[in-house]
Structure 1
Amino acid sequence: MPALSRLLCILLLACLSPMALGERLRLVSDDWAPYIYQEAGQAKGIDYEITSEVFRRLGIEVQWQFMPWRRCLAMVEQGQADGVMDVFQVEARQAWMIYTAEPMSEVEFVLYQARDRRHAVNQLQDLAGLTVGTSPGYDYGAEFNESDAFRREAAPSHEANFGKLMRKRIDLLITDRRVGRYLRRHLGVEQQVEELPLVINRRAQYLGLARKPGREALAQAFTEELRRFRQEPAYLAIIERYIGDASDLADAVEQQESSTPR
């Protein structure tokens, strides 16, 4: 590591609050495989492993807790949790949340449908009269969220949405492309459920920290260490363990970095 970068990191860490340095950070998330999720009570996922490694290098211990997404955001807003994993940058949250400058990854919201009940959907308007399964508290973009041409029906989990699709209770579901592909394999419905090519929305997701003293310095230190880690083979190795080909996710993050103001 260049001496100047190491010095900057040390100075940033020196600015952190005693709580961040002396106690565990409590981070929350919902199950969002393959980015972050629980399996047999063990936290796993691409962004979970990357975040854990970055905090390890910063000398900060992290406690993870999984809960529904709306509760995750409420816990951070109320100061009951120190941060939330894989959150979008939303202007309304700026008063109580600090984002890292570097995105963790990028999501692409796409639609899934049953192969035996296909719908010709090439644009959002083609969803007219249909029911689309969603997840509570998720932001799919204003055009999708506010359209009155079709019905949105929330389910308690991403797995539940796939179950509703198979039982013909919804016409389609919306989720991130990698999440959908993971769940098709995990639930054994790859032959029954197909992914549509239309991208409803594309967003970068970040580590969001509760706005408390010292957290801006922590966000900056995390960003600098994450950028260094991304230059190492160990970073790509984490991605390949979950999705096989690291180039897809790495290219998406690099593209987002080039278009995101610093």
Structure 2
Amino acid sequence: MWSIQFKGFMRRLWAFIVCVLLLGSARAQERITLVGEDDWYPYAAARHGKAHGLGVDIITAAYQSVGVEVNFRTMPYARCMAQVKAGQELGCFDSAPDSQLNADYLFHQTPLFDATIGIYAMASSKERNLAPQHLKGQRVGFTNGYTYGDAVELDHSIARDVARTDLLNLRKLLLGRTAYSLVYTRVVDHLQATHPQELGGKIKQVGVVMNTRLFVSFSKLRPESARYAKLLDQGLKNLHTDHSYAQILQRWNTAPP
């Protein structure tokens, strides 16, 4: 009698263990694919065939804390955003929301990180403390697909000279094709470090467009977007709570170019 009861207990125990393992495996195997920009170091770039950067590390850690594994793809930012808008991809990063993007994309609530868009001129310039209003009527370098806040985007007096990459944007400045270039400050730091002969000592920051927060742009055409936006918010909250967010920032603040 005891043997029969014991065998029954063991069968139920094994059934319970199998269920727990299956549920754990299912959660661990939940995967999504997000697309990062391929040329925006140190935030997101393709390095050795893989996505690499501050944004990549923050997104990976945040989703990992809520049981989601992220597969990353990289492509030019403008194409990335177009595919997300069309519902071909779930999400693209890193984006600075404005009135137009808010109409076309779904965003989570907690930013990935903060960054500054600088106004750059030739090193010989005597100007300083420039702001968006000083760009009126000027020929200004932009990077394809990027947004620069409503103060710039809605000012149609600015003559936009659009380049495919930030480096090409700055090269137009050096050639005298534009009066100013609008580029994120840490991106310029990286480009000056990796192109010292071309950029070193030849350009300087003369103002700020804005200090902005960066996010993942989720597709409004994908039914799962709202869920993964909420999970990303929960994951970012987890990172701030256990202080791993600060550790990631510190690692990238001391990262080599």
- Shared fold (TM-score greater than 0.5)? yes
Q: Which residue does 1:27 correspond to in 2? A: 34
Larger Rg: 2
Q: 1:79 to 1:72 in 2, by over 3 A?
A: same
Q: Which residue does 1:252 correspond to in 2? A: none
Task: Report the aligned-residue RMSD.
Answer: 2.8
Task: State the distance in 2 between where 1:32 and 1:191 align.
Answer: 21
Which shifted more, 207-216 or 75-84?
A: 207-216
Shift of 1:129: 5.2
Task: State the distance in 2 between where 1:105 and 1:73 align.
Answer: 19
Whether 2:188 is the aligned partner of 1:180: answer: yes
Task: State the distance in 2 between where 1:22 and 1:60 align.
Answer: 7
Task: State the distance in 2 between where 1:88 and 1:127 align.
Answer: 20
TM-score normalised by L of structure 1: 0.74
Task: State the distance in 2 between where 1:107 and 1:146 align.
Answer: 21
Letter aligned with residue 216 of structure 1: A
**SS in structure 1 at match of 2:88:** coil
Letter aligned with residue 25 of structure 1: I
Task: State the distance in 2 between where 1:205 and 1:38 align.
Answer: 18
Q: What are the superposed Cα offsets for residues 78-120 of structure 1, whole Å, 9 maximum, x if unpaired?
A: 2111111122334555566321111111232221122135546
Any conservation in 1 of the 2:98–2:150 contact (CA below 8 Å)?
no
Which shifted more, 164-173 or 151-160?
A: 164-173
Task: State the distance in 1 between where 2:133 and 2:96 align.
Answer: 25
Which shifted more, 64-73 or 150-159?
A: 64-73
| Counterpart among 67, 74, 81 of residue 82 in structure 2 | 74
- Unpaired segments of 5 or more residues in structure 2? 1-22
Whether 2:224 is the aligned partner of 1:203: answer: no
Q: Which residue does 2:168 correspond to in 1? A: 160
Which shifted more, 28-37 or 230-239?
A: 230-239
Shift of 1:52: 1.0
Letter aligned with residue 29 of structure 1: G
Task: State the distance in 1 between where 2:138 and 2:75 align.
Answer: 29
Shift of 1:125: 4.5
Letter aligned with residue 35 of structure 1: Y
**SS in structure 1 at match of 2:109:** coil
Q: Which residue does 1:104 correspond to in 2? A: 112
Task: State the distance in 1 between where 2:136 and 2:227 align.
Answer: 47
- Unpaired segments of 5 or more residues in structure 1? 1-13, 246-262
Which shifted more, 89-98 or 216-225?
A: 89-98
Q: What are the superposed Cα offsets for residues 168-218 of structure 1, whole Å, 9 maximum, x if unpaired?
A: 33222002222222222222234222112x322233221222233343232
Q: 1:40 to 1:224 in 2, by over 3 A?
A: same
TM-score normalised by L of structure 2: 0.76
Q: 1:187 to 1:233 in 2, by over 3 A?
A: farther
Task: State the distance in 1 between where 2:91 and 2:65 align.
Answer: 18
Shift of 1:27: 1.1
Shift of 1:225: 1.7
Task: State the distance in 2 between where 1:223 and 1:126 align.
Answer: 36
**SS in structure 2 at match of 1:58:** coil
1:31-180 matched pairs, under 5 angstroms: 31-93=39-101, 97-119=105-127, 122-127=130-135, 130-180=138-188
Task: State the distance in 1 between where 2:242 and 2:181 align.
Answer: 36
Q: Which residue does 1:241 correspond to in 2? A: 251
Any conservation in 1 of the 2:90–2:225 contact (CA below 8 Å)?
no
Any conservation in 2 of the 1:27–1:81 contact (CA below 8 Å)?
yes
Shift of 1:135: 1.0
